Structure 1
Amino acid sequence: MLNLPTLSSNGVTLEPLNLSHAKDLVAACKDGELWLITTTSVPEPDMVVNYINNAHTTHDRCAFAVIDEVTGRAIGSTSYHDILPLPKRLEIGYTWYAKSYWRTHVNTVCKLMMLTYAFETLEYLTVGWRTDDANYRSQQAIERLGVKKDGTIRGNRVCRDGVISGTTMYSLTATEWPNIKETLQEKLTSAH
């Protein structure tokens, strides 16, 4: 679907996800037992290889491994998905990081790289996000980016624990991007 490059900034590298990242991602999802969070897509440790293979066989998804440049290890994953070439819209999601990287600069850096590539290289017009209606931590992280909340689709998904939930949708347009880019760059500058 998309020919993914390797992107690098501020000590974080995004490289196309492949099976060589499996061992690191097993350790990353164990950091905080992330698979126990029923509102996320984090795989169980013994399902990481299937997770990677599934990312490759989903026709409208292009996945990255998130690499900590200090350790050289994969610490999570993120993807472009629901890629619609004609209206030039895609979403960023399937994003997760080892718990020890939560509330660090990593998410801001990843979003800045992915949004810059989507808007400035691919020339897409809209980037969206979705999260489980009950996943308040993810909603707060998305809202910290400064994007617009589009609304909630009620009762459209089943969580791992069988609970039926909704999806909260967000989006950012190419015309809004320059202001958001400036905000993200300021956040990174103030974090260092």
Structure 2
Amino acid sequence: MNFSVQPVLENEEFQLIPLQQGDFESLYEVASDPKVWEQHPNKDRYKKDVFENFFTGAMESKGAFKIIEKATGDVLGSSRYYDFDEEDNHIFIGYTFYGTKSWGKGINPQVKKLMLDYIFQFVDKVHFHIGKENFRSQTALERLGGQKIAEEEVAYFAEPARTNFVYEITKEAWV
């Protein structure tokens, strides 16, 4: 891999900053609302011990970000790049979540645009794992042009396997 999966990305409103160990409390504050996880395959991530495991996985991925609103400095959520496949020249974007105060405000499309615009300099395809019952995220990805291409069991970092759909956006379709 001859590119960084943890650059600083930003537009006028938002900044994606590489996640650091000291970000746990501010990110957990956002993640501690059970409503954030209600459609997610792993619904108990609002619990501190479960979120600690999620955060450890984020740190070990070396591709995770905290999402900051520039005007307020507030942490809105997190996303990451993971599982680069050199042979097929694709990478995943996922593990994305936002606090409920960020829902329905057009934040996710802006964040995904930052991530996709950057990573398409280096890969041909981006894949996304989305829980089969996570209708909110499925709709969001379809609005971005994502196509459902597969269904598979995914074991999140030290969590049980769950059924996920795999969505794809190609560089060709994105540009």
Q: Which TM-score applies when normalising by structure 1?
A: 0.76
How many Å apart are 1:53 and its aligned residue? Answer: 2.4
Structure 2 counterpart of 1:167, from 149, 164, 167: 164
Q: Is the 8 A contact 2:148 2:168 kept in 1?
A: yes
- Specify the alignment match of 2:57 in structure 1: 54
36, 39, 42: which one pairs with 2:41? 39
Displacement of 1:164: 7.6
What pairs up with 1:53-132 in 2 under 5 angstroms? 53-58=56-61, 62-120=63-121, 123-132=122-131
Which deviations, in whole Å up to 9, do the C-alpha atoms of 1:85-108 show, x marking residues without a partner?
A: 232110110000001101112101
- Structure 2's unaligned 5+ residue stretches are none
Q: 1:131 Cα deviation (Å)?
A: 0.8
Partner Cα separation in structure 2 for residue 9 and residue 45 of structure 1: 32
Give the structure 1 partner of residue 18 of structure 2. 16
TM-score, scaled to structure 2:
0.83
Q: Could you tell me whether the CA contact under 8 Å between 1:31 and 1:100 is conserved in 2?
A: no
Task: Please list, as runs of the form range in 1=range in 2, the aligned pairs for 1:181-192 lying within 5 A after superposition.
Answer: none
Aligned residues of 2:81 and 2:92 also touching (Cα < 8 A): yes
* 1:50–1:130 CA distance, 2 compared to 1 (3 A): closer
Distance 1:42 1:92 in 2: 21
Residue 10 (structure 1) shift: 3.2
**Secondary structure of the structure 2 residue equivalent to 1:65:** strand
SS at 1:146's partner residue? coil
Secondary structure of residue in 2 paired with 1:104: coil
Shift of residue 33, structure 1, vs aligned partner: 4.0
CA distance in 1, matches of 2:160, 2:23: 31
Amino acid at match of 1:103: G
Q: Is contact 2:37–2:46 with CA below 8 Å preserved after alignment?
A: yes
Provide the secondary structure at the position in 2 that maps to 1:72: coil
The alpha carbon displacement at 1:163 in A equals 9.6
Residue 130 and residue 176 in structure 1: after superposition, are their counterparts in 2 closer, same or farther (change >3 A)? same
One-letter identity of the residue aligned with 1:131: I
Quote the RMSD (CA, aligned, Å).
Answer: 2.7
**Contact residue 154 and residue 162 of structure 2 kept, 8 A:** yes
Amino acid at match of 1:147: G
Distance 2:137 2:37 in 1: 15
Computing the radius of gyration from Cα coordinates, the structure with the larger value is 1
Contact kept, 8 Å, 1:6 with 1:16, in 2: the verdict is yes
- Shift, 1:54, TM fit: 2.0
Task: State the partner residue of 2:30.
Answer: 28
- Alignment of 1:176 with 2:173, yes or no, is yes
